[in-house]
Structure 1
Amino acid sequence: MMKRLGPILAAMLLIAAAMPAPAEGMKVISFSPALTELIWVLGAGGLQIARSNACDYPAAATALPTAGKFAKPELETVLAMKPDLVVANDLINPGVARILRQNGIRVELRQCRDFDDYLWWVGTLGELLDRRFEAAAEVRRIQEFRAQIARQPRLPGKALWVIWDSPLMVAGSGSFPEMVLRQAGMDNIAADVGQEYFKCSYDWVLKNPPDVIIWSAPGKPDPGHRFWGQLEAVRCDRVVAGLDSDLIQRPGPRLTQGIAELRRKIMEVRERAVEKSEKQEVQK
């Protein structure tokens, strides 16, 4: 375990060497729900003075005023609040970051596509917010989780992750859902498609029938539908639906919970389908 932790902790020390010591009473604004969650996990919620309208967890964070939408700060509002630090995974208008920096506000931007990106944020915020001990504990928790899932057997077959059903949009290669699916132990049937998200034709799905469907759209696919009813995964109810999107599509501290839940649900629908098939055989 210490060998695995070594590179991460070493990276945190390098980050520390490049950063100034945090000022007393630092004021932080987050425009990322995942980063807001991390700030509070690190015990620095008292330093956050505002949030985006998408930052809805933990409950205590919702008492903070909003200073814009997800990845879209309201510039005048932010400047009036005079924060020391603004964090986000990305900004819709990159020019906003330039203006904030010109006004002496530190801006940290980085996408969070996998656990390595998340651990970068843990180390960065741990240093900037003077929460090094809490950050080290979070690093250990993530590394222990990764070691645990690495020991688990891979789940057989391949899954199709449906983001939306009309038009049909699925998760492809390099997407965040694909990473989550892979961590849960199953391969993405659209892994060879060179797009993170793509509009998918019915013909493509029929030519590449999945063993399991992860359904992020509302409801569930109807077995009586002229298309969905052609898929064995739908007819046999090997469909995982109703997952908490905040757990499986938000790259924050609770992602470990979401991955574990997804794996459990996949195993459940597969087992249920086998039991149903066995009962039907007995009744014949």
Structure 2
Amino acid sequence: MTQRLPGVVGLLLMLMAGLVEQAAADEACAIDDAEQEICLTVPAERIVALSPGATELLFAAGAGEQVVAVVDHSDYPPEASELPLVGSHDRLDLERLVALQPDLVIGWVTGNPAGQMERLERLGIPVFRIEPRTFEGIATALERLALLAGREAQGRLAAERFRQGLAELAARYADAPPVPVFYQVWDSPLMTVNDEHLIGKVVTLCGGVNVFGGLARLVPRIDEEALLVADPEVILAGGRGEANRRWLEDWQRFPELTAVARDNLFFIPPSLLQRPTPRLLEGSRRLCDRLEVARGRR
């Protein structure tokens, strides 16, 4: 027996090492948009989304049934509005959130309170931060979220549909005549986007030229005089509810603007362009269509 013991011990050690290696191989690891690696030993079954965009991405990635709570304004898809709320993106109800016993929280890099996010991490809750700022970032967000939720196939399919749709638009409008565009994010103060913003990238994709694209800030403030000097051929508004009509009607005060003279004042629902989710593809198609209308009015 004494002579056989080392062999038995060795075999047990090998089995244990094999189990450890298998457990490590079974881990799902992904790097978030804050450049932190999150690893889960089993797919997340109870996920809390801390922004409307995160909620949309999770559902699009096939993980909707695993989402147990969201924040205010998480209104898409419709079933998301039936989920429990844990506050707003910038003010979380941590007590309620923790009581839900999530095994994964999807945060927004710049949108959630840093102190509250750190507290969640100290409690041992994995926090995966996202904030896509490119088309490819949206696609990889779908794939990474799907991986953590054990929905890899659905995530890959959603990502490829998104990539393919954008590639088709890029090919269609690659040689389209350029159209000077102003995109209005807000009215008071008057705000727009630059070329680094996702909406600015959509404008470029469709053959538009963002008249304030070269400004340094992602969402710069401007004044009416600057807009009059830029004289865009198209004005696009993204206000909520009735605000879009008021914003567009307000530009009628300046009949000398090319966009007004040619009736190129268009509204696109903000959730289709201002949230970095797969629905940006639909928003892009609408924006491209509006620029085609403007080209036809020359």
Structure-2-length-normalised TM-score: 0.79
**Which aligned pairs between 1:142-181 and structure 2 lie closer than 5 A?**
142-153=162-173, 154-181=176-203
| Pairing 1:239–2:283 present | no
% of aligned pairs identical?
Answer: 25
Kindly tell me the number of residue pairs found equivalent between the two proteins. 257
Aligned to 1:207: 229
Q: Is the 8 A contact 1:71 1:89 kept in 2?
A: no
CA distance, structure 2, for counterparts of residue 71 and residue 185 of structure 1: 35
Q: Which has the larger radius of gyration?
A: 2
CA distance, structure 2, for counterparts of residue 71 and residue 41 of structure 1: 23
CA distance, structure 2, for counterparts of residue 264 and residue 138 of structure 1: 23
Q: Secondary structure at the match of 1:250?
A: coil
- Displacement of 1:232 in angstroms is 1.8
Q: Is the 8 A contact 1:28 1:50 kept in 2?
A: yes
Q: Is the 8 A contact 1:240 1:266 kept in 2?
A: no
Q: Can you give the 5+ residue segments of structure 1 that lack an aligned partner in the other structure? A: 1-12, 275-284
**Which aligned pairs between 1:1-284 and structure 2 lie closer than 5 A?**
15=30, 19-23=39-43, 26-90=45-109, 91-153=111-173, 154-217=176-239, 218=243, 219=245, 220-222=248-250, 224-225=252-253, 228-241=254-267, 243-271=268-296, 273-274=297-298
One-letter amino acid matched to 1:172: N
CA RMSD of aligned residues (A): 2.2
One-letter amino acid matched to 1:263: C
One-letter amino acid matched to 2:282: Q
Q: Secondary structure at the match of 2:124?
A: coil
What CA deviation, in whole Å up to 9, does each residue of 1:220-249 have, x standing for no partner? 144651xx22212112211212x1111111
Question: Is 102-111 or 115-124 further displaced after alignment?
Answer: 115-124
What CA deviation, in whole Å up to 9, does each residue of 1:192-244 have, x standing for no partner? 1112222212222222211211122421144651xx22212112211212x11
CA distance, structure 1, for counterparts of residue 209 and residue 140 of structure 2: 26
Moved over 6 A (4+): none
Q: Is the 8 A contact 1:30 1:36 kept in 2?
A: yes
Q: Can you give the 5+ residue segments of structure 2 that lack an aligned partner in the other structure? A: 1-27, 32-36
- Displacement of 1:254 in angstroms is 1.1
Aligned to 2:24: none
What CA deviation, in whole Å up to 9, does each residue of 1:224-277 have, x standing for no partner? 51xx22212112211212x11111111112111110011112212442x34xxx
Q: Is the 8 A contact 1:33 1:54 kept in 2?
A: yes
CA distance, structure 1, for counterparts of residue 193 and residue 249 of structure 2: 17
Structure-1-length-normalised TM-score: 0.82
